[in-house]
Amino acid sequence: MAVDLEKLEQLLTNKLREKFGDAIRDVSEYRGELSVDVDREVVLDVCRMLKDDPDFQFDHLSYVSCADWSAQGKTPRYTVYWDLYSVPRTHRVRVRAAVPEEDPTVSSVTSIWRSANFMEREAFDMFGVIFQGHPDLRRILMPDDWEGHPLRKDFPLGGVKSFYFKRATDPGAGEPPDLIPRIRRQESDI
């Protein structure tokens, strides 16, 4: 079932531009995949239209995540992207929205696809982007008291310091736990 990319690109451009005007920045094609760049204010409405319009029917949300452009010095700092797939029409599209560093918020699409729940929590955990309207935006992979967002480019691979689990040798960790009393007692007995 080959998908006619040019036709889909035309459809996307016409229908979205007609409804949202300049809020649709660009519709581009790369390696056989279509990307729609939109303003972050209209993300929710664009997604709802992409799901409900009979020409698109994007009923499966594949992936939500984020990229941090600070290593390349680009502004705005973050890009949040949604990979959509249509099961009946077997075509794909990617929606992208730029999110600035000062106000890292974007609307949540959990009201459209409930699969966004975990993936948005992960993006929040890893990048610190806040999804407004998410029912339960907590950390998902890192411990709740973790500081920092690991996939940001300014977070080093090895971590800043041992946040969560303190080694016995760390300053302020207190007395090391007496893990081997059995062996010690025996030695003193001898």
Structure tokens at 151: 């996939």
Site for another protein in 76-105 (CB under 8 A): 81, 83, 87, 90, 92, 94
CB of 18 to another protein, least distance (A): 26
What whole-number distance in Å separates Cα of residue 84 and Cα of residue 94?
6
Identify whether the C-beta of residue 119 lies closer than 8 Å to the C-beta of residue 93: no
Site string for another protein, 103-122 (x = CB under 8 A): ----------xxxxxxx--x
Q: In what order do the strands lie in the sheet with 92-99?
A: 24-30, 33-38, 92-99, 78-85, 60-68
Which residue's CB is nearer to another protein, number 6 or number 30? Answer: 30
Among 22, 31, 54, 175, binds another protein (CB under 8 A): 31
| DSSP helix/strand/coil, 105 | strand
Q: Assess 174 for contact with another protein (CB under 8 A).
A: no
Peptide bond before residue 76 is cis, with ω within 30 degrees of 0: yes
Choice between 119 and 129, CB closer to another protein: 119
Helix (H, G, I), strand (E, B) or coil at 75: coil
Residue by residue, DSSP assigns 147-182 as -S-TTSTTS-TT-SS--SSPPTTSTT--SPP---HH
Pick from 4, 159, 173, 184 the residue near another protein by CB under 8 A.
Answer: 159
Residues lying near another protein in the complex (CB under 8 A) are found at 1, 30-33, 35, 59-63, 65, 67-68, 71-72, 81, 83, 87, 90, 92, 94, 113-119, 122, 126, 139-143, 150-151, 155-160, 162-165, 167-168, 177, 179-180, 182, 185-186, 189-190
